[in-house]
Amino acid sequence: MATKPTSANPPAAGGGVAPAPGKVPGNTGNLRRGGGRPKGVPNKATAEIKALAQQHGPDAITTLVKIMQGAKQPSASRVAAAKELLDRAYGKSVQPIEGGDPDKPINMALRIAFRRPGD
Pick 4 or 84 by higher pLDDT: 84
Q: b/e map of 73-107 (b: 16 or more CB within 10 Å)?
A: eeeeebeebeeeeeeeeeeeeeeeeeeeeeeeeee
Q: What is the pTM of this model?
A: 0.45
78 vs 66: CA distance, rounded Å: 9
Report the pLDDT averaged over residues 111-116: 82
pLDDT of 94 reads 78
For residue range 45-91, what is the model confidence (pLDDT) as tens digits? 888 888 888 899 999 999 999 999 999 999 999 999 999 999 888 88
